[in-house]
Amino acid sequence: MELFDAILNRRSIRKFSPEKIHPEIVNKIIRAGMYAPSAVNKQPWHFIIFEDKKTIQSIIEIHQSSVMLAESSKAILICFDETLQHDEGYGPIDCSNATLNMLLAAHGLGLGACWVGIYPRHNRMEALHKIFDLPKTIKAFSVIALGYPAENKEVPERFKPERIHYEKW
């Protein structure tokens, strides 16, 4: 898949087929996340791969917009280590880059994926901290639902020239 096709055609997929994802494919997606840019190359991220239905149900109970996890083949929790981030506030930015790389990698590998926002909602972050038994310095950032897509989505026109400015506003 060409890079621009992947960027422009990737959609959030919320319906998945029951087909399982091979662990090697999940590792490729994680690898793409680890190659994301990070401030001062600190790479403060950690990843937890999960598929346990009780864990998924616990997340759905605290985050109603995460129901697509119930159909996903696998999910990935992206976290950042406060002690590894370049400075306060950089961990979430770095994890945003990793999350997007992983979404694009999943799309490029023929999978569907959906970003489930956790950070900066403290109630969600605290709940996932408990669910996954995270160490004190590790903060939950996002979850990616992964699976083979069971839906096709149209690509909307999002290019808005009126939002482009040159030199000054």
What's the pLDDT tens digit per position in 94-109? 999 999 999 999 999 9
Give dist(CA 69, CA 25) in Å, integer.
18
Confidence of residue 130 (pLDDT cuts 50, 70, 90): very high
Domain carrying residue 138: 13-142
Q: Is residue 164 part of a domain?
A: no
Q: Is residue 152 part of a domain?
A: no
Number of structural domains the chain divides into: 1
Q: Is residue 88 part of a domain?
A: yes
Q: Is residue 162 part of a domain?
A: no
pLDDT digits (tens, 9 = 90+) for 49-107: 999 999 999 999 999 999 999 999 999 999 999 999 999 999 999 999 999 999 999 99
Q: Is residue 150 part of a domain?
A: no
Q: Is residue 148 part of a domain?
A: no
